[in-house]
Amino acid sequence: MLTERQLDRYADVILWGLKTARKARYQKDDIVLIRYNIPAIRLAEILQAKILKVGMNPIFRLLTTPTMEHNFYSLSTSKQLVFLAPGERTLAQKLNGSITLYAPESLIHLRDIDPRKIGKATIAQKKLRDILNKSEAQGAYSWTLCVFPTTALAKHAGLSFEEYSHQIVKACFLNKTSPVSQWQQIFKNAQSIKQWLNNMKVRHYHVESDNIDLKITPGDHRKWVGISGRNIPSFELFFSPDWRGTQGIFFADQPSFRSGNYVRGVRIEFLNGQAIKIGAQEGEDFVRKQLAMDQGANKLGEFSLTDKRFSRIDRFMANTLFDENYGGKYGNCHVALGASYTNTFKQDPKKLTKDMKKKLGFNDSALHWDFVNTEKKRVTAYLQAGNKTVIYENGKFTY
Same domain, 155 and 253: no
* 168: CATH: 3.40.1830.10
pLDDT in tens, 213-271: 999 999 999 999 999 999 999 999 999 999 999 999 999 999 999 988 999 999 999 99
196 and 88, same domain (yes or no):
no
| Predicted pLDDT of residue 74 | 97
Q: Out of 127, 156, 177, pick the residue that ends a domain.
A: 177
| Residue range(s) defining the domain that contains residue 47 | 4-177
Q: 387 with 372: CB under 8 angstroms?
A: no
What percent of the chain has a predicted confidence (pLDDT) above 70? 100
pLDDT tens digit sequence for 91-102: 999 999 999 999
Q: Is residue 80 predicted with pLDDT exceeding 90? A: yes
Among 177, 199, 234, the domain-final residue is 177
- What is the C-alpha separation between 399 and 397, in angstroms, rounded? 5
- Cβ contact 154:168 at 8 Å: no
My answer on whether 264 and 147 are in the same domain is no
pLDDT of 92 reads 97
Prediction pTM value: 0.90
- Specify whether 231 is located in the same domain as 366: yes
Residues 210, 95 within the same domain: no
* Total number of domains constituting the chain: 2
Q: How far apart are CA 128 and CA 87, in angstroms?
A: 11
Q: Are residues 239 and 110 in the same domain?
A: no
Same structural domain for residues 95 and 188?
no
Q: pLDDT per residue over 193-211, tens digit each?
A: 999 999 999 999 999 999 9
What do you get for the CA distance between the two ends of the chain, in Å? 38
Among 120, 151, 177, identify where a domain stops: 177
Do 168 and 19 lie in a common domain? yes
Between CA 186 and CA 23 the distance in angstroms is 19
Peptide bond into 233 cis (omega under 30): yes
Taking residues 100-128, what's their average pLDDT? 95
303 shares a domain with 264: yes
pLDDT > 90? residue 23? no
